[in-house]
Amino acid sequence: MVFIESMKLHSVSELKASAGKILDRALAGDPQYILRDGAVAVISKAELLAGIEERPAGYFVDAYRDADPERLAFEKAMGKIKQRIER
């Protein structure tokens, strides 16, 4: 991780005391960085995807009608494992 000189690291206590101001800056496009126990978290404005329709119930039913039992067992097992985002 590269830190820029002008980047301000906030402590958790600063976040608690000034959450509104910190969130306002993040929503204005200036990511805010919070330091806790040597780890850094970022608060930034999220861009939500628009125009993606929700699939109706049963949309994927045909995809699993003749599915390989080994593949179904694998997917079921993967659903029980806590997933972690890799960057």
Residue 26: name the closest of 44, 7, 46 by CA.
44
Amino acid at 9: L
The model's pLDDT over 53-80, given as tens digits with 9 standing for 90+, comes to 788 888 888 877 788 888 888 888 888 8
The residues with which 36 forms a beta bridge, in sequence order, are 39
| DSSP 3-state of 39 | strand
| pTM for the structure as a whole | 0.50
For strands 39-43 and 32-36, give the pairing: antiparallel
Distance in angstroms (rounded) separating the CA atoms of residues 72 and 80: 13
- H-helix or E-strand spanning residue 65: none
Query: What is the reported pLDDT for 11?
Result: 93
Domains parsed from the chain with CATH numbers: 9-43 (3.40.1620.10)
Query: What is the reported pLDDT for 69?
Result: 86
The model's pLDDT over 12-61, given as tens digits with 9 standing for 90+, comes to 999 999 999 999 999 999 999 999 998 999 999 988 777 777 888 888 88
